Structure 1
């Protein structure tokens, strides 16, 4: 749990954090008790960085995280949430949060996300997240999925975050997305401290090497990596495995199988290689583990103790299965 500096700020974060989409009933409903138990166990295991968002379970994850950290020493934690969506009872259906007619978040409260990257909307979002979590402050605030709202994100939303940072209300600001190109635009147009990238710098997909990671290197922006297992295919690449939250195409499964087979040559679990891979990049500050249960969390943390020979990384690159790191 060694710590590294976030951008040019005075905030330091551990190399491993807890992502909490699963604690908001992402693709599988869990109880409040089980969700809070994961947070409790994460703290017991030394995890001190937790990332959440209003979208995750439409407020469920924030509330559960708040309960889990209520008795912890706040000064020992790094808490991150996201802005850009407000939860409202009259929200229109957001088709991006469905696949084949089934919502990604199950058994959620009777509210839905409404896009709002206005200056006032960002301030409101922070206030409502503080209320849901019961916290007095967040350390990191991230604009959430502004793919189709880049102009507002780079102007009104950024201005609100910049002012909150200047006032000392938050230590670091940035954006979190599943695509590297729009994140790169924000890095180049705004004074960000950190970005959260899900799924685009993994053992299976290093597309962020072409744009985001060089831009972050140039601007001294830290990178937090989520989705290291690419929705599960880098745990067990069976036919029908998920990639980017939906069934993977055959060619994606085939590539994952080829990576797994090379890992087996060195007696390295595929999941261990997947979890450790992003940590080697100099701009990556933290990898988030998105465990749904206490057992999953322990299994993931154990993967960090697996020794991986450098020859495996070389073989993966020589086989064209990974790009140069």
Structure 2
């Protein structure tokens, strides 16, 4: 049983985050649109169920997710919440098309406002991004700020971007700073070169993919950098590994589906839903402070929260190791 009220300290800061948080990419019309009312209802239900950590970003729905967070938290005392957002993109009219946000000619975010994301990791861009996010979310501060997807912008992110975040932290305008992305090489270098309190690692420390253990998580351990694990279902394949499912937001390959099915087969033998093992697994790593859930509906939220109370026998993890489906050095829940 994972307690929603249990908190863990971020790095060497005084900030504590709950073990379970709510990610809001899907609530920003990721892959398919949902209404303001339905998105706000998911956040409100999560708050009612005890979730107090919300992660958002300007990219998510081109501001939709941040505005929907604002609507849902209006009656919640600010001090009861941990809220993180991201910097590195400003929303501007006439923004050039960013091919990283498209697949097969279609955008990942559907039915979004016309102002699109423009890369900007300058000191001015970071500070402006924070101010605009505060307006959209309706808060006067954030607890965590992440450099967002700086894969192709390492030089600027690690210099001017990091400098701006470091100054905001020193001024007390934010408690923890970090970086969030789904590829590990640049993230490892940012942890190595910058004084980051936390990172948000999406999809690279999961039941299917533990590649974050190669270099990134050991570097985080050396630097006392906490890890928030996102994308723990690898965008769907660890919920229902059937043809047509997705991995890293695009159709999963036959090889990925086969590996996920083999994991599911072992879970089935132990009477454990694959998704339950997927959501509970990352929390056993000592660097992982929190796991983000990313439901897009009330039904998905209730399902996700129910997975947290599933009892998983130690034999399941042992069988996964024996089948070479889990790294021998990967910590497992007790």
TM-score, normalising length from structure 1?
0.99
Which runs of structure 2 are paired with 1:142-157 in the superposition (5 Å)? Answer: 142-157=146-161
Deviations 1:284-325 (A, max 9, x none): 000000010111111100000000011111111111111121
| 2:226 corresponds to | 222
Which runs of structure 2 are paired with 1:100-249 in the superposition (5 Å)? Answer: 100-249=104-253
Matched residue of 1:292: which SS?
Answer: coil
Matched residue of 1:148: which SS?
Answer: coil
Which runs of structure 2 are paired with 1:76-115 in the superposition (5 Å)? Answer: 76-115=80-119
1:6 counterpart (2, 7, 10): 10
Give unpaired runs (5+ residues) of structure 2.
Answer: none
Which runs of structure 2 are paired with 1:242-281 in the superposition (5 Å)? Answer: 242-281=246-285
Give unpaired runs (5+ residues) of structure 1.
Answer: none
| 1:302 corresponds to | 306
Counterpart-to-counterpart distance in 2, 1:100 and 1:125? 29
Deviations 1:92-121 (A, max 9, x none): 000110111110000000111000000110
1:19 equivalent to 2:26? Answer: no
Counterpart-to-counterpart distance in 2, 1:283 and 1:122? 27
Deviations 1:146-179 (A, max 9, x none): 0000111110000000000000000000000001
Counterpart-to-counterpart distance in 2, 1:217 and 1:157? 23
1:45 counterpart (23, 46, 49): 49
Deviations 1:47-100 (A, max 9, x none): 000000000000000000011111101101000000000000010000110111
Counterpart-to-counterpart distance in 2, 1:109 and 1:239? 32
1:35 equivalent to 2:46? Answer: no
- Following TM superposition, where does structure 1 have runs of at least 4 consecutive aligned residues deviating by more than 4 angstroms? none
Counterpart-to-counterpart distance in 1, 2:298 and 2:245? 23
Matched residue of 2:232: which SS?
Answer: coil
Counterpart-to-counterpart distance in 1, 2:111 and 2:243? 28
Counterpart-to-counterpart distance in 2, 1:102 and 1:322? 34
Shifted more, 67-76 versus 163-172: the winner is: 67-76
Q: CA deviation at 1:238?
A: 0.2
Which runs of structure 2 are paired with 1:54-69 in the superposition (5 Å)? Answer: 54-69=58-73
Q: CA deviation at 1:240?
A: 2.1
Matched residue of 2:46: which SS?
Answer: helix
Q: How many residues align?
A: 325
Deviations 1:207-248 (A, max 9, x none): 000011100111110000000000100000001210000001
Matched residue of 1:185: which SS?
Answer: helix
TM-score, normalising length from structure 2?
0.97
Q: CA RMSD in A?
A: 0.5
